[in-house]
């Protein structure tokens, strides 16, 4: 889920993969691997994500699935995480609709 959340956050901030990769100091190929869950970001890279998106590493890590295996999260935290994820997905849809309707005008 972390990989998808990072992708959705990038889209929410209206950033291309190329723009974000440059800001993070990584290649577009590496960013693509992270967003497709073929590679996991290091803590150092998560710090850079947090700086770019003006948030905290802990806020980003809330979306990490593997944390649930190590420590039982409270139902409240899981519900909040799932709601935030759904919100990001909905915003992605609105962003896509807005871009496609602007192109047809």
From first to last of the 105 residues of the chain, give the pLDDT tens digit.
889 889 999 998 999 999 999 999 999 999 999 999 999 999 999 999 999 999 999 888 887 765 444 455 677 677 777 787 788 778 777 765 666 566 655
Which domains, ranges and CATH numbers included, belong to the chain? 2-104 (1.10.260.40)
Per-position DSSP letters for 4-57, written without gaps between them: HHHHHHHHHTT--HHHHHHHHTS-HHHHHHHHTTSSPPPHHHHHHHHHHTTS-H
pLDDT for the residue numbered 72 = 59
Q: Are 68 and 2 in contact (CB under 8 A)?
A: no
Alpha-carbon distance of 91 to 96, in angstroms, equals 9
pLDDT confidence of residue 6: 94
pLDDT score of 70: 47
pLDDT reported for residue 86: 81
102 CA to centre of own chain:
25
Tell me the Cα Rg of the chain. Answer: 15
């Amino acid at each position: 889920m972390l990989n998808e959340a990072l992708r959705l956050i990038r889209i929410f901030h209206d950033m291309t993969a190329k723009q974000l990769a440059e800001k993070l100091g990584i290649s577009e190929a590496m960013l693509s691997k992270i967003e497709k869950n073929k590679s996991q970001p290091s803590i150092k890279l998560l710090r850079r994500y947090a700086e770019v998106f003006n948030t905290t590493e802990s806020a980003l890590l809330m979306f990490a699935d593997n944390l649930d295996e190590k420590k039982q999260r409270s139902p409240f935290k899981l519900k909040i995480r799932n709601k935030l994820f759904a919100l990001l997905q909905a915003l992605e849809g609105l962003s896509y609709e807005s871009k496609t309707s602007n192109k047809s005008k």
